[in-house]
Structure 1
Amino acid sequence: MKTTQENIFSSKTLSYFLQLSETMNYTQASQILGITQPALTQQIKKLERTVGAPLFYSIGKKLRMTDAGLTMLNATQEIYELLNRATDEIQQSTSATQGEITIGMLSSIEDRVVEDFIMNYYKDHPDVRVTFFTLSRKEIWERLENNRIDLAIMYLPDESIKNWKPYQAKSIMTEDLLFVHSNPELADLDKIRLKETLGENWVTYPENYYIDQTIREIYKNHLLDLPKSVARFSTPNQILRFAKQTGSYTALPKSFITSHQANLGGKTFATQFEPSVKFDLSFVYRTDKSEIPRIANFLTAFDEYLAGHGYEERLEMLQHVDD
């Protein structure tokens, strides 16, 4: 027969509890978790029966946490932190030149520079195995939290992340978002105002992707209608191909445009927004990760790689190599 502790820790119940405590909304939490709202409700009720007290209560449509819920939240966070710290302490005893490094990169980011660096890193460190994933923002944060990736490469700031305390960020470069179009009347513009970009349909990233949310926020902040999206794709290559074939407008990172300049052709143009739209490309990792020898060595080697030629210069060099 299972003990009370086994009933609590033998399932995903605590993960569900943590997600609900972060959003304080059953609908949002169930969407993020990829489960139905009744399934989430059932798991929370199961946890409440196990601990013998309600963890949440409602005032109107607002969800609140009980004193018992706050106690459970503190205990759960301490458990996760203890497990993560134990894992890191074990890993810190390994060699700087052996072992595995797992990296998750946002799928909307141009990966040529990172790919080239990893190939060069392997030549000098053949006993370090690098595992590389392209992931959605949700997948990246889930894997960071569960210690399934060591390093994330993503865009910041990211306001969807509420608890930054266990993490730190290391900036790689400042990224510009460019307006991409095939409109000859706009071809000679050095910069384009937001309201001038609403004349055609758009192709965009899926909802909740970082760049899609960034586009939505900037148009809302300038009291403008949102671009009308007629298609959504998860990678910039797909978006560019659709835009070229259909004449749709879109917005893509400057790093991607720099790396694929030859693919634009003479009829597709990339123009800076007015006002400009900028964000940081960064490494994100749990604070103690940089103390693991092979992780620290990897980050130092990446700095040295960019010291000779900057990120954008590397992109241009790699484009010419591919050509």
Structure 2
Amino acid sequence: MPKTDTILSAKSLRYFLQLIDTMNYTQAAQILGITQPALTQQIKKLEHAIGAPLFGQMGKKLYLTEAGKEMQSAAVELLDTINSVVDDIQEFTQADKGSISVGVLDTIDIEIFRQFVVEFNKNYPRIQLNILTYNRQELWRRLDNNTIDLAIMYLPDNTKRDEINLQHQYDHMELFKDRLMILTHKDTVEAKQAYPISRFTRRKWVSYPEGSYLTQLMKDYFGDKNKPIVSLTFSKAKYLIETAQTTEYDTYISKSYYLAHKKDINLTPVYVKDDKDFEIAMVYRKGKVEIPRIKNLLEEWKKFLDKKDYSSRLE
């Protein structure tokens, strides 16, 4: 087998670029859904094929060698070419046949989108819809690698190192203007009013995990001088609420989740004064709307909301 067969493997290139993103074999392997030895073996094959190390190590930290930097540029260019070819081929596929993969941020409740998917399937039964949940970093990776067609996530998002990528490479459709909501046991606040975060700095919290979108918002609100006192973490809003309601801890969720589940919530919902705007959005690579079946999905989604808007469906 020629050495170039190894270098030009799309899988190998993605593994290589993922390791560059994390500079940590364990984290990269977890994101890729493989074992660390498998990732190590793949990198060694690439290094053997080109005859030079791609990574060096200083203490416990990895760094890119000069050969690694050259390989990074080539890998990005090659994968962009592959993605472009795939998009070109998909443009000629049928509008009512094929598959569409949708990645959803793991902290977003997808009940409304699930209802839409059921309706869409009735109209386009030959289109297979694959709905999968991921964290923010994995969503962007899969969008970049064209392994998902659409992503439902929060925007603005700082996961991307270069925000220009969002403007130049991606389009998005706003689904709902959302807002962070604190659920508290405090009896000195009024429901749905906004309060300075200083009113909550001494509270203990049930929180989303580190790195989650709403967790990052809370840390921004608290500022550098204060940190939320986190006692427990869960990745799902359902467990945050249930735990907060059976303890003395406060928690925080999105307004959209509160509207959909407020009948099951007995904590006081309040907002953070001068909070930041964000939205639930459908994000996709530019050019995706030229693929007939994806164009149909986006058009059907608009019709779905014309019948009853997102906010009304939440309640």
Map 1:89-128 onto structure 2 (within 5 A): 89-128=88-127
Counterpart code for 1:284: V
* Cα contact 2:55–2:62 (8 A) shared by 1: no
Which residue of 1 is the match for residue 287 of structure 2?
A: 288
Map 1:127-276 onto structure 2 (within 5 A): 127-162=126-161, 164=165, 165-187=168-190, 190-220=193-223, 223-265=224-266, 268-276=267-275
- Partner SS, residue 185 of structure 1: coil
* Cα contact 2:154–2:280 (8 A) shared by 1: yes
Which residue of 1 is the match for residue 27 of structure 2?
A: 31
- Partner SS, residue 271 of structure 1: strand
Counterpart code for 1:135: Y
Q: Deviations over 1:148-197 (max 9, x none)?
A: 32111011222122352543322222210011112222245711211111
Which residue of 1 is the match for residue 47 of structure 2?
A: 48
Counterpart code for 2:107: S
Deviation at 1:243, TM superposition (A): 0.9
Counterpart code for 1:216: K
Instruction: Provide the alpha-carbon RMSD of the alignment.
Output: 2.8
Question: Structure 1, unaligned stretches of length 5 or more?
Answer: 317-323
Map 1:1-16 onto structure 2 (within 5 A): 2-9=1-8, 12-16=11-15
Deviation at 1:119, TM superposition (A): 1.9
| Residues 33 and 157 (structure 1), Cα distance of their counterparts in 2 relative to 1, 3 Å cut | farther
Q: Deviations over 1:227-251 (max 9, x none)?
A: 1111111111111111111131111
Q: Deviations over 1:277-308 (max 9, x none)?
A: 33121111222222110101111221222234
- Partner SS, residue 83 of structure 1: helix
- Partner SS, residue 280 of structure 1: strand
* Cα contact 1:32–1:138 (8 A) shared by 2: no
| Residues 36 and 214 (structure 1), Cα distance of their counterparts in 2 relative to 1, 3 Å cut | farther
* Cα contact 2:6–2:12 (8 A) shared by 1: no
Partners of 1:40 and 1:111 in 2: CA distance: 33
| Residue range with higher mean Cα deviation, 145-154 or 292-301 | 145-154
| Residues 224 and 194 (structure 1), Cα distance of their counterparts in 2 relative to 1, 3 Å cut | farther
Counterpart code for 2:27: Q
Counterpart code for 2:221: I
Pairs aligned (count): 307
| Residues 37 and 225 (structure 1), Cα distance of their counterparts in 2 relative to 1, 3 Å cut | farther
Deviation at 1:114, TM superposition (A): 0.9
Normalising by the residue count of structure 2, what TM-score does the alignment of the two structures yield? 0.85
Deviation at 1:309, TM superposition (A): 2.9
- Partner SS, residue 186 of structure 1: coil
Percent identity between matched residues is 34
Q: Deviations over 1:74-111 (max 9, x none)?
A: 32122212222222222222221222222111121121
| Residues 53 and 32 (structure 1), Cα distance of their counterparts in 2 relative to 1, 3 Å cut | closer
- Partner SS, residue 284 of structure 1: strand
* 1:71 matched to 2:41: no
Question: Structure 2, unaligned stretches of length 5 or more?
Answer: none
Deviation at 1:37, TM superposition (A): 8.2
| Residues 306 and 224 (structure 1), Cα distance of their counterparts in 2 relative to 1, 3 Å cut | farther
Normalising by the residue count of structure 1, what TM-score does the alignment of the two structures yield? 0.83
Partners of 2:121 and 2:196 in 1: CA distance: 45
| Residues 202 and 171 (structure 1), Cα distance of their counterparts in 2 relative to 1, 3 Å cut | same
